[in-house]
Amino acid sequence: MPSDIFVVGGGVAGLTLARDLALGGRRVHVIEREDRTGGQVTALDVEAHQLDAAAESFATRTTAVSALIAELGLSDRVVMPLDAPAWIYREDGTALPLPATGLLGVPSSPFAADVRASIGVAGAARAWADRVLPRRVGADATTFGDLVTARMGRRVTERLVGPITRGVHSAEPDALPIAAAHPALAGLVTDKRSLARAIREVRRIAPAGSAVASLCGGMHTLPIALAASAVEAGVDLHRGTVATEISASSVTFDGRTHHGEVVMAAPPAGAPTRNVTLVTVVASARAWQSAPRGTGVLVTRGAPGVSARALTHVSAKWEWVARAFEGKQVVRLSYDGATPEPLAKGVNDAALLMGSAPEAIHTVLERRWARATPLAEADRGTIRWVGEAASGTGLAAVVAHARRTATEMLASSK
């Protein structure tokens, strides 16, 4: 008879893994130290409403999250964002709309007017050279930044790609694996002999519609439904419980040691993390009502007078938020590290990035997170891992990796 499985951590990764394992016939226990599940996919109380305290959308380039949402009966709550581009705040203090046809800032048409406005004619010419460079150029790249720089030049990497990878993946281009940008990208570049042509193919095969989606009421409603479904499938959920003495075959909690297969779904004490600070601002601002910066602003490194790496115009991006905060504007700013005086910085940066100061500030809230950093397989020891430390950032990556892991574990137990 297969042994029990103990999942340490009740975030989205741990719950997804546990649910799939239980549906596959295994006895599963989830040990979560907090009194709630969901990890960083949780709610932030803002005035009389609940917004997302961290993840506020999921990537639609794969079906990983949408399939899980369908299984949970939440498909009718899926919502799309405002159909408007984000903007880039540049190192010269000006702001421009993000070029429309690309992948994480990489242009598929380097001489398009919006691309030339961002990187100049010289930068566009260097990017266009990608079409005639030998296939071997960039073939040995290990990161997205290395690949883009080799094929299209440093201006594309610094002015277009960098603000997006920092805003979306919380990573520098030169630290982002190529597969994290798109799983098929490296192969497509080789096949198409051009990064621009590969990007066009990625866009051609991508699902129609927006690159991201969310749930009406917020992504924090996902782990609530996920936990309920996991329990219904037979998962034993231990909230408010600390796991200690963790190994691949045993874990101690509730005063005794339990033996079985152990999976880490949360970084243990002492594991490497990176700090992120999120500041939510609710304001009255007539000039912001027309969404002058689309769905938000991504900040180029070295841009003057601003500390945030990104701003999301939440009430413009999501219609349900606009309805909830009728007459008010909601923006959220992202900062790397434990930012000093984040509330004051949030108000100042919001005015700068939105292009005008609000008439009144109603609420300013701060939330700090310690995000897991990717662990090399050699650093994970003999214990299986799911979650950001193993999959990389983003709900799509986290859910897909957790489900693959469950499939592997079920197959190995037959």
| 315-331 tens-digit pLDDT | 999 999 999 999 999 99
Q: Is residue 86 part of a domain?
A: no
Q: How far apart are the first and last CA of the chain?
A: 10
d(CA 90, CA 86): 13
Are residues 16 and 46 both part of a single domain? yes
Are residues 190 and 286 both part of a single domain? no
| 216-253 tens-digit pLDDT | 999 999 999 999 999 999 999 999 999 999 999 999 99
Cβ neighbours around 119 below 10 Å, total: 24
Q: Is residue 402 part of a domain?
A: yes
Q: Is residue 92 part of a domain?
A: no
pTM summary value: 0.91
Asked if residue 399 has pLDDT above 60, the reply is yes
**DSSP 8-state class, residue 105:** T
- Give the DSSP H or E segment for 347: helix 342-354
Are residues 250 and 367 both part of a single domain? no
| Highest averaged pLDDT of the listed ranges 67-81, 152-166, 295-309 | 67-81
Are residues 162 and 195 both part of a single domain? yes
Q: What pLDDT score was predicted for residue 377? A: 59
d(CA 247, CA 264): 9
d(CA 256, CA 254): 6
Q: What pLDDT band is residue 378 in, cutting at 50, 70 and 90?
A: very low
Are residues 105 and 199 both part of a single domain? yes
Are residues 247 and 395 both part of a single domain? yes
d(CA 145, CA 142): 9
Are residues 151 and 227 both part of a single domain? no
Are residues 262 and 389 both part of a single domain? yes
d(CA 356, CA 292): 10
Mean pLDDT of the chain: 92
| 60-119 tens-digit pLDDT | 888 999 999 999 999 999 999 999 989 999 999 999 998 876 788 999 889 999 999 999
Q: What pLDDT score was predicted for residue 332? A: 98
At 42, the amino acid letter reads T
Asked if residue 407 has pLDDT above 70, the reply is yes
- Give the DSSP H or E segment for 96: strand 95-97
Are residues 323 and 341 in contact, defined by beta-carbon separation less than 8 angstroms?
Answer: no
Q: What pLDDT score was predicted for residue 203? A: 81
**Helix (H), strand (E) counts: the chain:** 15, 21
Range of weakest confidence among 142-151, 179-188, 324-333? 179-188
Asked if residue 145 has pLDDT above 70, the reply is yes
Q: Is residue 94 part of a domain?
A: no
What's 22's domain CATH number? 3.50.50.60
Smallest CA-to-CA distance from 352 within 94, 157, 107, 175 is with 94
DSSP conformation letters of 359-394 = SEEEEEEEEEEEEEPP--GGGGTTSEE-SHHHH-SS
Are residues 199 and 108 both part of a single domain? yes
Triad 6, 221, 393: Cα angle to 5°? 65
Are residues 247 and 343 both part of a single domain? no
Total domain count for the chain?
3
Q: Is residue 265 part of a domain?
A: yes
Q: Is residue 162 part of a domain?
A: yes
SS3 label, residue 322: helix
For residue 351, the enclosing domain spans: 273-371
Ranges assigned E (strand) in 166-290:
212-215, 236-238, 250-253, 256-259, 261-264, 273-284
Are residues 209 and 80 in contact, defined by beta-carbon separation less than 8 angstroms?
Answer: yes
Facing residues of 106 across strands?
103
